[in-house]
Chain A
């Protein structure tokens, strides 16, 4: 892991730096610019200082209320899907066959939901869940459960959560499976000689070995669920009422629906700062874990 110091390496990185700067820094500068100004149309702008931020972070105003409502809603959503997907993913990974064609078959089927366009994921669950034409909606209603995700808040939430579990549990399972595969057989043989119980094998061997991949899985799932837009937008459109309006949906409503530039920009910046903080945690975890493993870093 002894890299040579070479400042000329910057020339290799320069194209990436330029294109990402063009796509990230330039737009963010406009956002910062908007967040400090107010407009009454006609391209006339007025200096507004930190006015929008004050309004955004004050829950008594309309904007602040909407921001905090969607923020808590989003955090609650992330917490629920993590609480379901992580244990379920571990159980599925432990249930995976060891070898043979079955492994390949499982991997292919499990990867399928991950590769479906997000709006089609929404469409699939829209069609699957509708009480009139959907298998799930129809079955639930025939069983006497009054299920309708369009009008009932609880049903809308349940649908979106089940949809996310359907969409992403495979990712957690595949990551855990990769972690499990790296455990040498000798560990299991030693456990057998010691007469360790199934549970002891899990807590003493498998869980510690899955630590790193689990952290990655949790952080990835948190980040992606925290910026979820397309799937709930297609299924519920943020409704009924505002009950499934997550931060991204709220932001797009303000920015592209009402064209309220200042408010949208202030919200964008606060949103981005939250993401940056979580991202920093993610980076630290990944690089530290990478350092522990030494030279085999990056080898699957």
Chain B
């Protein structure tokens, strides 16, 4: 009664459609460039790890991953620590301008990064932060702090208010209640919010590329610049791509039930 006719076929076709391009990327990453350019093979006939070895030994490549990780981690920590108290306030209290503020946060999550690229470039140059991980980390707060507030607000709201009241009656001070009781109760929510902050900062290219030049160049910028500069080293490009997918693929299992919720800003 729940399902529709031919559902297995539909679902299988859809999943194959999703996996095929990813398979092709992985396939390419294990091929030599000669094999890629000269023949069309469905799997690597002379499998090689040379592409991966080059990324792990060439500093201009592996430093890209380190730079990306730096600003992503700074951003995630900043976003979550700023957003937690605010999420609690939005969930429990009514105060002057709360609805407008909540809307304003959302509008920043939706703001096109292209609009902010140039002013951010000027702003962070003036602050001498240009080409540091801090510039990108702070710039990504534009959409990640609102995202974290919205997601965490949903999780805080699912904690019954009686728990707060009992804790305060028991003589807990607000900071102690927050750290000892609330944070453990919404630990999974914090994990989900952190995961989404990590992800949205990790996938963003435009701001990260605009705010860095040499020292803090992220992996996404290394990838786009290498394509145009050194001709087409497809195997290397594919290997670099596969490595950027790995962080998401590692945690995907733990967040599989929260994906829809995270993308819908905690509203599902």
Contacts and interface: CB of A to CB of B under 8 A. Distances in A.
Q: Do A and B bind each other?
A: yes
B263 A220 contact: yes
B145 A19 contact: yes
A94 B7 contact: yes
Contact of B3 (A19, A95, A280): A95
Contact of B82 (A15, A127, A170): A15
A133 B15 contact: no
A145 interface: no
B93 A23 contact: no
Given A5-B94, A117-B205, A124-B24, A177 B260 contact: yes
B18 A114 contact: no
Interface in B200-245: 202-206, 210, 220, 223-224, 234, 237-238, 241, 244-245
B28 interface: yes
Given A133-B36, A275-B111, A123 B141 contact: no
Interface stretch (B46-54, B55-63, B250-258): B250-258
B96 A115 contact: no
Contacts of B37: 132-133
Interface in A153-197: 166, 169-171, 174-175, 177-180, 188, 191-192
B115 A268 contact: yes
A252 B17 CA distance: 32
B65 to A, nearest CB: 12
B113 interface: yes
Nearest to B142: A23
Contacts of B133: none
Contact of B114 (A12, A23, A213, A227): A227
B11 A255 contact: no
B86 interface: yes
Contacts of B248: 112, 115-116
Contacts of A15: 82, 85-86
Nearest to B139: A23
A106 interface: yes
Interface size class of B (residues with CB under 8 A): 35 or more
Interface string A5-44: 1111110110111011011101110110000000000000
B28 to A, nearest CB: 6
Interface stretch (A45-53, A54-62, A282-290): A282-290
A143 interface: no
Contacts of A27: 116, 119-120, 123
Contacts, number: 315
Contact of B2 (A10, A31, A188, A264): A188
B77 interface: no
Given A120-B241, A251-B115, A92 B259 contact: no
B69 interface: no
A229 B10 contact: no
A149 interface: no
Contact of A31 (B5, B25, B88, B115): B115
Contact of B24 (A31, A135, A217, A271): A135
B256 A298 contact: no
Interface in B97-149: 98-99, 101-108, 110-123, 138-139, 141-142, 145-146, 149
Interface string A85-117: 000100110111110000010111111111111
B179 interface: no
Interface in A58-89: 88
Nearest to A188: B1
B71 interface: no
B149 to A, nearest CB: 6
A6 B244 contact: no
A272 interface: yes
Interface in A195-233: 198, 201, 213, 216-217, 220, 223, 226-227, 229-230
Contact of A12 (B85, B142, B202, B206): B85
Nearest to B114: A248
B165 to A, nearest CB: 11
Given A127-B28, A230-B206, 15 more contacts: A3-B92, A9-B98, A10-B95, A13-B89, A16-B149, A20-B142, A26-B123, A95-B10, A110-B15, A112-B249, A115-B245, A128-B20, A255-B117, A268-B114, A271-B115
13 contacts: A4-B92, A4-B93, A9-B89, A10-B89, A23-B138, A24-B111, A30-B122, A112-B19, A120-B220, A138-B40, A171-B263, A248-B206, A272-B112
Interface of A: 3-10, 12-13, 15-17, 19-20, 22-24, 26-28, 30-31, 88, 91-92, 94-98, 104, 106-120, 123-125, 127-128, 132-136, 138, 166, 169-171, 174-175, 177-180, 188, 191-192, 198, 201, 213, 216-217, 220, 223, 226-227, 229-230, 234, 247-249, 251-252, 255-256, 261, 264-265, 268, 271-272, 275-276, 278-280, 282-283, 286-287, 289-290, 297-300
